[in-house]
Structure formats: C-alpha cells, structure tokens
Amino acid sequence: MTTRLLVRAQALGAKAAYALPRPLRRVLAGKPIRIDGQELSLDAQLMLVLQKISGQSLVVDTPENSRKRLEIGKSLVGGDPIEPVTVRGVNADGVPARLYTPAGVGEDAPLLVFYHGGGWVVGSLDSHDNTCRFLAVNARVKVLSVDYRLAPEHPFPAGVEDSVTAFRWAVANAAALGIDPARVAVGGDSAGGNLAAVVSHQQVLAGGPLPAFQLLFYPGTDGTTRRRSRDLFGDGFFLTSDNMDWFMSHYQPDESQRTDQRFSVLLVDDLSGMPPAYVATAGFDPLRDEGEAFADKLAAAGVPVVKSRQADLIHGYINFLGVGHRFREALSEAAGALRTGLELGQRKSPDVRTAK
C-alpha cells in the first residue's frame, strides 16, 4: 500500500511539473543541454530531472528488481490507457502474446508484430501496453505484442526463437486474427528493434514469408563495436553505457559469440531483400550511431528506408506518453510511417530519406 501511494504521488508530481508554464519548467530542468550540435528538448530534460529526484533507474542490481522498477516507471510516465482498443491474450504457438484491435478496423486489417524493449532482460506486455495502444489507434493497425522469453533465465537465442515463432504464427493464422497476411509488419524498440530486424533477416534466409515493413525504434544492432554516440551519451541520458554492458552480459555472456548475426544484425554481409524500414533514433542515445549505421546499410543494399533522428530526444521516448508533448509527436511520426508503409507496400529504392 505504501509503495502504491508513493508511486501515485510521484505520478501526480510529474504531471504537475509538466503542467507548469514553460519558463518555470525551464528553471526546474536547468540550462539547455547542447551536445554534438543537438539541443535536448525541454520535455526530455525535465524527464531526466524527475527521474533523478524520484530515484528511478533502468537497472537495479538484479533482473528481478530491475523488472519491478520498470513497471513502477511505467505508471509514472506511461499515461492513461488509450482507447478505444479491444485487448485479448493469445497463444502464438506456445509464445504468450496480446492482440490489440482499435475500434473501426475491419477483418482484413494490417498487423504489427511488436517486440518490447528492455535489453532482452526487462520489459513486458504491460510495460509497453500504452505504446501498443497508441500505434494501434494512430496507425489503424492491429498489434500483436509478443511476450518473448527473457534473459538470464532464457539467454540468447531464446528471445530470437520466440520472436520468429510469433511472426510465423501470425501469418499462418491470419484468418483467425482478422488480418491481411500480406500486410504483417514487425517492429520494436531497443532490444525489441533488434529482434524485429533479426526476424526480418531470418525470414529472408528462410525464403519467407517476409514482413511487409520494419518499424524500428533506436534498435541495438551491433554488440561488438563501441561507437561515438556511446561515448557522448553513455551517462546521464536514461540508458547508460554500463546498462548496455549489464544487459548484454545477461543476454549473451560469451562476448566471442556476439558476432552471431542473430545478435548483431548489422554484421550481416548482405541485407538485400530485407523489408522496407522506418528507423528512428534518438539524438541523446548511446545506441544512436549503430541504429543509423543499420539504416545506411539497408539503403546501400537497395532496401527502401526512412532514417529519422529525433535529435532532441533520449532513449525510451516511445514509452513516455503520459507527460509533455514532444514524445507523442515523435511516436505520431512513426505511426504515420507505419500506416503509409503498409499502404504503399514494398517499393524498390536504394536511397535513405532522412526525415526532417
């Protein structure tokens, strides 16, 4: 009871802070932060201040405690459930999942198979519930959120196996789900973005069926190389460099095996034949550069890509729907890209279009 009351008080405090006039929010957040030619948005900077005040962090000693802490964080900034959406649990060939159906979509709707983030260690159907609701309503798609097995109880490649299974099950059971099997996209954030890209490549290797589209938010694509963005933003911007090491050590503790293309999809020699993609990165994110490198490599292989850097945001922004405005704006852009991509279908174009 005490914990619930504290969380409720913190959530009310966060809403009150974001409701302040902009000058007062700026005083609370502090001086603008500018790094690498980018200025952190006031919404994101205030989020980091409130995170510090509340004592929230992405990693807390053990996986169990980290999972609990993430669920608390969701209640602070996730927002009220977005409606109208019908939600029901399904069994995707042994993999638990949750199907979101927004009001007004027909029985031949497109589907997004969504893989939640959390470093393959934390995160759940609940942690990304409102994100899935938002995408369902704003992209006019059904969403199948996949509860893949987590490390360290189930290390690599268990998450990959579950993710592939869920996608194949969705396509095979299109009639029962009321979806168009030719318009099944994959998507996810961070570790979930990694899994979505890996599923796409595994389907290329298997000869199909292929996802119709990839919706990738700040995906982890290479566990072997430390890039410049990790040095610039590896501390103080929600996801830290130490967090990344912690997650990878639980998911694949053998560093020599991180070259596996099911772990580091950026290392795949030939990405031709991959589905069209929207690759979103956050400017103040240690994962920024590897996500953008993956978008560039897709484009070089002839895959249609939109590369969208949300230069003023931080890792995790698709989950911060209950506070401010900037986070919803960024997710709205992605929902539009998903809807357009599914309507247009695969279109051959080798260039990267950078969203402004």
Residue numbers annotated as active site: 190, 285, 315
| CA distances to 65, 121, 122, 140 from 136, in Å | 30, 25, 23, 5
**At residue 128, what are phi and psi to the nearest 5 degrees?**
-115, 20
- Angle CA 199–204–205, to nearest 5: 95
| Whole-number Å distance between alpha carbons of 81 and 282 | 24
Other CB atoms within a 10 A radius of the CB of residue 256 amount to 8
Residues 6+ apart with CB under 8 A from 315: 190, 218, 237, 238, 239, 282, 284, 285, 286, 287
Tokens found for residue 84: 């109208």
Strand, coil or helix: 151? coil
Tell me the C-alpha distance between 35 and 219, whole Å. Answer: 21
Q: Crossing angle, helix 42-54 and helix 22-29, to 10 degrees?
A: 50
Q: What is the C-alpha end-to-end distance of the chain, expressed in Å?
A: 46
